[in-house]
Chains A and B, each alone.
Chain A
Amino acid sequence: MNVYHPRITAWLWLLGLLIVGVLGSRVLTSDWLETGFLALLPVTEQQPEIAKAVQQHNQLLNRKVIWLTGAASSQEAITQARQLKQQLQQSGLFSQLMLEVPMQQTVNNYQQLFPYRYQLLDAQTKLTLANNPKNLLSQNLEILYSPMAQMLASDLEHDPLLLFSRYFNAQNPLKLNVEQGIVILHDANRYWALLLSDLQDEHLQLDKLETLLTLVNNAKANGDLMVTGMPLFTAYGADSAKQEISTVGVGSSVGIIVLLLLTFRSLRPLLLSSIAIGCGLFAALVACVLFFGKVHIITLVFGASLIGVADDYAIHFMCDSFGTKDWQPRQGLRYIFSGLVIGLCTNLLSYVGLVFSPFPALQEVALFSAVGLLVAWLTVVLLFPLLLTGFKHTHEPAILKVANYWQQHSPRWLLKNKRWLLPMFIVFIVGGLWQLTPRDDVRLLQSAPAELLQTADKIKQLLPVSQESQFFLVSGRDVNDWHHNEQQLLGRLKSLTQQYQLIAYQGISDYWSDEQNQQKNYQLLNKTLYESGLFKSYMTELGFSEAAINTELKQFNEAKNKTISLPDWLKTADEVKQQLWLGCDAERCLSRVSLTGIRDLSVFPALQSLQGVTWVDQVEQLSSLFARYRVRVSGLIIAAYLLVFIGLGFKFGWRNSLNITAVPVVAALVALATMGWFDQLFSLFNLFALLLVLGIGVDDAIFFFMADNAPASDHDKRVSTSLAVTLSALTTLLAFGLLAVSATEIVHAFGFTVAVGILTALVFSPLVGHREKDV
C-alpha cells in the first residue's frame, strides 16, 4: 500500500481529466441533444420491410402539425388563419404551409386522369354496374334534376354518364367544406379554418421546439386555436423534462449542500463533492455523445439523479474522518478502500443490467451512469487523499448523534419487538406483492398535458382524416399479386366499416386498378352500358344530340386499349396516397393501408390470415415488448442479486454474505410491496430501480459490516459509518426521490421505487453486524 502517493495519483487524475476535456471540446460542439419521443423506443424486432414502413410512418407523423383557428363566423376564422399562416411563415420552422386547397393541382389531376375514365372505376360504380346498370342511369337523372346539378355534374358534356365525376369524388371520400379556397370545419358553436403544416426537420432541436411552443402560445393569445401533432407532444415533453431536470438538479444540489455544510461545518467537503460530481457528469456526457452520437433529454433527467449516488463515495471517505482521532486521509482511504471497491462493483453491476435492455434510452442511462460513477469514484480515490490533507473536526455534528443513536437503538428495538413486527412485516410484503399488477403500456413513456390530448381528440372528431398509428402492410410477388391481395383486404375492411368497427380506410388499390382489372372495368362498361345500347337510350332521353351520342361512342371505342401504370397514376395522387405506396423490389411489392377511427382493435389482427397481409400495431408491439422484457429483467435482477451474494460469499463467508444481501433484498421487497399497496405504476422501469436499490443497499450493509470487523482500536468506526450511510441515503433520497415529482409516469415510478428502497435499506442496514451482546 506504500506505493500510493497522493501527488502521483492526483497528477494521474489531472491527466485523465484533460483527456476527457479535449474529447469533450470536440464532441460537444455538434448538436448533441435528442428530444424526440420516438427515439426512446427500441428498434422493432421485425422484418426489415415492416421496420421500414414503421419508420416512414413515423417520419410522416413527426413533421405534421395541424392548426385550426376558430371564430363565430367562417369569415373571421379565415382572417385569423391567414394571420396565423403569416406568423408561421416568418418563423422559418416549416417547409410547407397549406391553407388554401390547391385547386389548380386538383384541376390538373382531373385532366390527367380523365382520359382513363373507362378504366378507372370506383368500387361503388363497379358494384352498381354489375348488379343493375339501370340504377346507375337513374342515379344520374337524380343528380341532373337536382338544383345542385351544376356542382355535381359540371362536366356532363364530356362525361355524359358521369363516370369520371363518380371516380373523382370517390377519391376524396371525406367531404370537406371549402370557403374561399380554405377548408372550414364546423362544430356546435364555432367555425374552424384548417391550416396544415410540415416541419422542416423531423428531428427538432430544443430551441426550435421552444419556438414552436411560443408560436402556439402567441397564436392562442390572438384567438381561438386548436393545435395538434406529434412535434407538439415532443415539444411539451421536452419542456417538462427540462423543468424536471432543473427541479431534480437544483433540489438535490441544494439538499446536499445543506446536509454537507451542517455535517462538516466546512466548505471543503462541499467543494470536493462538487468536483467529484462535476467530473463524473461531464465525463458521462462526453462518453454518451461519443458512443451514441446524441444524448436523449430523458437520459439527462435520470443522469441528474446520479448526483446522489456519485456523492456516496465522497461521503464515505469524508465521514470516515469522524471515526478516528488524528485522521490521515491515506489511512482513511486504506480502511474504506475495499468497501469503496465493493461499492463501485455492485453499483456498476446494477447498471450493467440496463445495458441488456433493448431500449436505447436505458442503454444511454446505463452508460451515462456507469461512466459518471466510475469517474466520480476515481476522483475520490485519486484526488481526495491529497486534497483532504489536514481535514479534521473539533465538533460533533447533530446528525452524527442522531445517526449513532439510530444505529445503536433501532436494531435493539427491532429485535426486541420482532415477535409482532415480523408477522406484520410479512403481511405487508405478501399483501403488497399480491396487489402488484403490471402495466406495460408504452404510452406511459410519454407525458402529455391533458389539454393537449383533449384538443387532439376534438380535432379527430371534427376532421376524421388523421391516420391511426396502426396500419396494414400488404405485399405481393408483383404489382398484380399485390393488387389482388390488397383488394381482398379492402373488401374485408369495407364490411368492417359497415359494422361500424371503423370509420374509414385507405388503400391505393381502391383508386388504381392493375392492368388486368382496368381491362375488366372497360369490358364491364362495354357489356352493361354500351353494347346493350343503354347509354344511347339514356342520352337520347336526356336530349343529347345525335352527334354527341356518336362522339361518346367513338371516344369509348378509342379508349379500348388504354391503361395507366401505377407510377403514372401516383403522380396525380395527393401526398397522403403517395405515401401509402412503399414500392417494389426484385422480390415483392409493398403498400400500406391506413385506418381512421378504429373502434375495437381486437378485430383487426385476424385479417392477417389473408394472403400477404400483415397487421402493424406499434403501440401494442412495444407494450408487449415491455411486458416480455419485464419478465426477462426480473430474471436479470434475481441473477444480479445472486451474483452479489456469491461474490460476497467468497470474500466474507456465506453467513455474512447472507446478512449483507438481506438488506437490499428486504429493501426491494418493501419497495415492491409499497407499490402494490399504493397502486403505483409497475413496469419494466421499476425493475431497473430495483437494481439501484441493490447497489445502494449492498453499499450500506457492507460499510456496516466492515465497521464491525475493523481493528479494535477503531471501535467507533460504526459511528462514522452510520453517519456516512445516513448521509448517503439522504442524498440519494434527495436525488431519486425528487424523480417522483416527474409528470412522466415511468420516471415518477422509478423515483418512488428508489425512494422506498433506500429508506428501507437505511432502516435495516444497522442490523448488519449488530451484536446481541450490546443489548
Chain B
Amino acid sequence: MILKALLLFLLSCNLSYAADVLADITARLIKTPITQGEFQQEKRLKILRKPLLSTGAFTYSQSNGVIWKTLTPIPSLLLVNDAHLLTGQGEQAVPPAFGKVFKAMLGGDLKQLSDGFVITGENKKSAWSLQLTPKDEMLKKIISSIVLSGDTELRGLDMQEVNGNITRISFTKITHPDQLTSEQQTDFERLSP
C-alpha cells in the first residue's frame, strides 16, 4: 500500500517535472513563423564502413512545412508537411506522424511533439536537451529515440534507430526572416497543389 502510494507520488512528480521542463524550454526558444539555416548531417549506417556526410539548407515555415535542400554531395530537395512528403522521386509514403514530427522539431513545437512521443529532458543554464521516445507502434519499430538539444535555438538532433543506425544533424547560421523568398514560396506551392 505504502509502496503504491509512493510510486504514485513519484510518478506525478515526474510528470509535473517533465511538463515544467517542456514549458521552460519552450519559453527559452525563439519562436517565429519562419526559421531558416544550414545543416550538417552525418548518417552512420551499420552496413557502411564510412558515414554519409551531407550539408545543405533548411527552411521551416509554420504554415507551409519544411524545405530540406541537400547541396552536397548530391543536390536534392525534400518537401514535407503534415500530409505530404515529396522527394525527387515524387510523392512518398511515410507515416504522416513523421512529417508532423519533423516539422514540429524544426519549429520547436514541443507540445505537438508530446502527442507522438514520451519526452524526458533536462534544462541547464547553458543548454537544454530532450529525449524523445515514440508512442506510435509503427514508428517504434524504426526509431528507438531522438535527442534534441539547443539553447535559444535548436542546435542538434540525434536519432538512434532500432537497427543501430545513427543520424546526427547539427544546425548553424539560424535566422528568422519575416518573409519567404520567392524561391521558397515556389517550393512550398509544390507541396500543397
Contacts and interface: CB of A to CB of B under 8 A. Distances in A.
A181 B138 contact: yes
Interface in A130-183: 138-139, 141-152, 154, 156-157, 169, 172, 175-181
Interface in B64-84: 68, 70, 73-74, 76, 78, 80, 82-83
Contacts of B76: 142, 145-146
Interface string B77-112: 010101101011101111111100010000000000
A175 B80 CA distance: 14
Contacts of B97: 179
Contacts of A178: 93, 95, 138
Chain B CB within 10 Å, residue with most, of A103, A180, A181, A184 = A180
Contacts of A179: 95-97, 136
A142 B47 contact: no
B142 A146 contact: no
B98 A142 contact: no
A152 B45 CA distance: 14
A343 to B, nearest CB: 68
B143 interface: yes
B45 to A, nearest CB: 7
Given A142-B76, A178-B138, A180-B137, A148 B93 contact: no
A75 B138 CA distance: 15
A775 interface: no
Given A142-B76, A145-B41, A151-B94, A157 B137 contact: no
Contacts of B27: none
Interface residues of B, number: 43
Contacts of B70: 142, 145-146
A234 B73 CA distance: 59
A148 B92 contact: yes
A494 interface: no
A148 B45 contact: no
Contact of B49 (A144, A157, A543): A543
B187 to A, nearest CB: 15
Nearest to A148: B94
B158 interface: no
Contacts of B51: 543
Contacts of B115: 75
Contacts of A184: 96
Nearest to B115: A75
A7 B118 CA distance: 93
B29 interface: no
Contacts of B54: 145
A621 to B, nearest CB: 35
A70 to B, nearest CB: 15
Contacts of B41: 145, 147
A581 B70 CA distance: 44
A142 B83 CA distance: 21
Contacts of A148: 78, 80, 85, 87, 92, 94, 98
A544 B88 contact: no
Q: Which size class do A's interface residues fall under? A: 35 or more
Given A156-B45, A172-B93, A175-B92, A147 B78 contact: yes
A138 B74 contact: yes
A543 B138 contact: no
Given A139-B88, A146-B78, A180-B137, A151 B48 contact: no
Chain A CB within 10 Å, residue with most, of B92, B136, B161 = B92
A147 B165 contact: no
B165 A150 contact: yes
Contacts of A154: 142
Interface in A558-594: none
B49 A545 contact: yes
A290 interface: no
Contacts of A180: 136-138
A169 B115 CA distance: 29
A542 B47 CA distance: 10
B8 interface: no
B7 interface: no
Interface string B147-177: 0000000000000010001010100000000
Contacts of B93: 169, 172, 175-178
Interface in B1-56: 41, 43, 45-52, 54
A85 interface: no
Given A150-B165, A543-B49, A543-B50, A143 B96 contact: no
Contact of B169 (A147, A151, A172): A147
A169 B136 CA distance: 22
Contacts of A143: 87, 89
Contacts of B96: 74, 177, 179, 184, 186
Chain B CB within 10 Å, residue with most, of A147, A150, A176, A543 = A147
A548 interface: yes
Interface in A179-210: 179-181, 184, 186
A545 B50 CA distance: 10
A408 to B, nearest CB: 76
B73 A145 contact: yes
A128 to B, nearest CB: 10
A177 B74 contact: no
B98 A151 contact: yes
Contacts of B91: 175
Given A150-B142, A178-B138, A181-B137, A145 B92 contact: no
Given A145-B74, A148-B85, A179-B97, A548 B47 contact: yes
A237 B161 CA distance: 54
A156 B78 CA distance: 20
Contacts of A545: 47, 49
A543 B136 CA distance: 32
A100 to B, nearest CB: 10
A470 B45 CA distance: 48
Contacts of B89: 139, 142-143
Contact of A150 (B68, B73, B138, B161): B161
Contacts of B78: 146-148
A168 to B, nearest CB: 10
Contacts of B169: 147
A145 B52 contact: yes
Nearest to B48: A543
B83 A186 contact: yes
A147 B92 CA distance: 13
Contacts of A138: 74
B136 A141 contact: no
Interface in A508-542: 542
A154 B96 CA distance: 17
Given A148-B85, A177-B83, A186-B96, 20 more contacts: A75-B115, A141-B74, A142-B70, A142-B76, A144-B52, A145-B41, A145-B74, A147-B102, A148-B87, A150-B161, A151-B92, A152-B87, A152-B92, A152-B94, A157-B47, A177-B95, A178-B138, A181-B137, A186-B83, A544-B49
Q: What are the 4 A-B residue pairs with the smallest beta carbon separation, nearest first?
A: A543-B48, A543-B50, A175-B93, A177-B96
18 contacts: A145-B41, A145-B54, A147-B41, A148-B80, A148-B87, A150-B165, A152-B94, A172-B93, A175-B92, A177-B83, A177-B93, A178-B95, A178-B138, A179-B96, A179-B97, A180-B137, A544-B48, A548-B47
